[in-house]
Amino acid sequence: MKARMIVDKSFRIAQVDNRIYGSFIEHLGRAVYGGIYEPGHETADAGGFRSDVKELIKELNVPIIRYPGGNFVSGYNWEDGVGPVTERPKRLELAWRTLEPNEVGTNEFISWAKEVGSEVMMAVNLGTRGIDAARNLLEYTNHPGGTYWSDLRRSHGYKQPHKIKTWCLGNEMDGPWQIGHKTSAEYGRLALETAKAMRLVDPSIELVSCGSSSTGMPTFPEWEAATLDHTYEAVDYISLHQYYGNRDNDTANYLALTLDMDHFIHTVKSTCDYIKAKKRSKKTMYLSFDEWNVWYHSNDADRQIDPWSVAPPQLEDVYNFEDAILVGSMLITFLRHADRVKMACLAQLVNVIAPIMTENGGRAWKQTIFYPYLHVSKYGRGVSLLPIVDSPKYDSKDFTDVPYLDSAVVHNEADEEITIFAVNRHLEEALDLECDVRSFEGYRLIEHIVMEHDDLKAVNTASEETVKPHNRGEAKLDSGHVTARLAKASWNVIRLKKA
């Protein structure tokens, strides 16, 4: 099998916003307690946060982290998580039916995020609360001083404002499972009025309005149209959420699911542009894909967890090799939509459907999906280019004309590097790729990173990392043409640099 690509520096999609490599920490399962925070751990710092986990997060170079939820935020009183820890209340957490001790709250998390080099995307509760709690939290975090809430922050030991820039107006408010679920009209009005109040407190912030919880929602995409009819001029982004799984054990169909993701993005873009035209606006609405991942392995185990315990092992998917391939393709999809997708959050970061896992009192280790996330975060910064692709195709249960080659290209102009990200979806045959890069004169091949494994179901564990990349790929560059054999069912990163 053969595939061809033409890559030209003039064929630009957009500058990649580095925040598409963001992630997510919710007060859910062992994401916080036993994940990023474990005071008794041998690597714990003075604040109780695990240093081994911090080092793995720094390796991923995560630019922004969404917090504190997720479904959790729709029942969360942010005041419970500030002030002296010994005086904080323990609460029944209704979204996931656990007990929340509130040992980690707003200030601790923001300080921790700074240590790992990340900004915070803060979500406000528009489920059980609303305008007042949102404006008060913003005043607490961002106002310099001289007011009740800002002085309260200063009394808690944080004299300088946190200057949180990005704020989510609630979470998945279209979902009947959500505490304080709203109709589109109810949410649109509340989000608009909350946005107005928050911008009066701090005009420099940017706001994310809730989009549909998935493409499967019966109200999609009418929810986007109806809510944006209220919020279009008041917000900067609309959110998208999507999770995939291989419940039918149909890998060919599973690896084609990014075609559904691509359709999701196109539909939301079109809906945003319809509202733009309807309002005769000059403003373009951008997309925040602030929940995405593979999620299905842990569903049965989660049904067996007893309620009202602290940090039970919820949503602890153990990812296999084929999951890593799909995650790579999902990242490729974001790059192809870099003109409109400006933020994205892999949900989540530690233990809960995550690239990083921990043992309580033990090791932290890398899941299979850690590596494509690492590669694209590390090498996918610059300008996303539009490659012209000619690939053989296949049909699956739910999709037709699925290209075996899934690819994106990023030009880092500052470092004079080109990176080709490529997935071979064929489960049985290698794919010979020829890529015309003649517009990049004087470049040389740096490396060809490959993730491959004979067992699509192979997983990593705390004791053994069986799925990991190598740099023994055999790509070659000659006379402005890259040639490479992409192994069957493989993830590939081909890097070129100006000589």
CA–CA separation, 178 vs 172, rounded Å? 7
| Tokens standing for residue 56 | 């793995």
334 to each of 266, 461, 492, how far by Cα in Å? 12, 29, 17
In 3D space, the residue among 339, 482, 332, 484 whose CA is nearest the CA of residue 408 turns out to be 332
Catalytic site residue 416? no
Are the C-beta atoms of residues 168 and 123 closer than 8 Å to each other?
yes
**Short-list 380, 367, 361, 241, CA closest to 298:** 367
Angle 67-51-344 from CA coordinates, rounded to 5° = 30
Count other Cβ atoms within 10 Å, centred on residue 455. Answer: 11
Place of tokens 């007893």: 306
- 291 is a catalytic site residue: yes
**Consecutive H or E run containing 343:** strand 341-347
277-310 b/e (C-beta count within 10 Å ≥ 16 → b) = eeeeeeeebbbbbbbbbbbebbeeeeeeeeeeee
Among candidate residues 159, 154, 136, 143, the one with its CA nearest the CA of residue 79: 136
Cα dihedral sign, 24-125-195-340: positive
Give the integer Cα–Cα distance in Å for 300 and 313.
12
Which of 93, 119, 291, 452 is an active site residue?
291
CB of 50 closer than 8 Å to CB of 364: yes
* Catalytic residue (choose from 100, 172, 224, 417): 172
Strand partners, 3: 433
Q: Which of the residues are catalytic?
A: 172, 291
